Amino acid sequence: MTAKWQSAASMLAALCGCGCFQPPPVTPDERLRGTVIMLPGVEGNAWQLKHVYEGLRRAGIEQAIEIVPWGSPPLSSLQNLSDLPRNRERAAAIARKIKVLRAEYPDAPLTLIGYSGGGGLAVLSLEALADGATVDQTILVAAAISNRYDVRPLLKKSRAGIVNIYSTRDCIVGAGTKVFGTIDRKKVLSAGHCGFVNDDNALVACEGLTQIEWTPAWRKYGHGGGHLGYLSRDWAQVVLAPLIAK
């Protein structure tokens, strides 16, 4: 077994131990320090982000951390990926949640993080925000949104901009989305595979959009470039946590 497959097998084994994980209830003090909303992948369940949650806590993130489950029915990944009308309804509900949090805690930082299918849903949630409503930071991780999706109009809804983290080694949001499609129903490489690109396949470069490509340096944090690497506790602690709005 190669090191690549050993790493994947280890991560799968760790995920199997996550069971029916739910993060602890948030507290009023945490809310005052800020809120991190995390959207899991197309399985849509909190257990998937257990180690990410733990990594953020290890990094000293003391804000409220909410993992918003959105899959229905459980484990119907392709249905959750492909039902755009239902996903727009889910995104509208997330946008309403953001509006309430912003009204109740206007001075507290608010970060939206979407992983895989949840990255696509995060984009739809920004779309659904009413004019003038904002989050402080949006972080897309291996997002299953089409690589030519024009994210620029959404930058005004994320005060500190949008961060897109991608890896060309990630076949799930590469070959996978070419076969099964993205959240926005395009059968193409996703922005989680090759970044947001223009018609010349060059990375979109504009103020407010930061695109971060996987680097071999992340291997020491348990991320070998594949889809599951982003679920590493160490990667979340060292790489993801510093990106969260303070």
pLDDT, tens digit, 9 for 90 and up, residues 70-120? 977 655 788 899 999 999 999 999 999 999 999 999 999 999 999 999 999
Which positions ≥6 away from 200 have C-beta within 8 Å?
A: none
Please report the pLDDT score of residue 19 as a whole number: 53
CA 147 centroid distance within chain: 15
**Distance from C-alpha of 16 to C-alpha of 158, rounded to nearest angstrom:** 34
Please report the pLDDT score of residue 9 as a whole number: 39
Alpha-carbon separation of residue 23 from 32, 102, 120, 159, 161 (angstroms): 18, 22, 22, 27, 27
Q: What is the pLDDT of residues 5-23, one digit of tens each?
A: 334 434 444 444 445 788 8
Is pLDDT of 45 > 50?
A: yes
**Distance from C-alpha of 222 to C-alpha of 219, rounded to nearest angstrom:** 5
Please report the pLDDT score of residue 7 as a whole number: 41
pTM of the model: 0.91
What residues does each domain of the chain span? 27-243
Q: Of residues 6 and 220, which shows the higher confidence score? A: 220
Confidence of residue 131 (pLDDT cuts 50, 70, 90): confident
Please report the pLDDT score of residue 14 as a whole number: 44
CATH entry, 27-243, from 3.40.50.150, 1.10.150.120, 3.40.50.1820, 3.40.50.2300: 3.40.50.1820
Q: What angle do CA 71, 74, 78 make, to 5 degrees?
A: 65
Beta bridge partners of 36: 65, 111
Please report the pLDDT score of residue 4 as a whole number: 43
Please report the pLDDT score of residue 77 as a whole number: 84
% the chain with pLDDT above 70 = 91
- Closest by CA to 139, choosing from 168, 109, 115, is 115
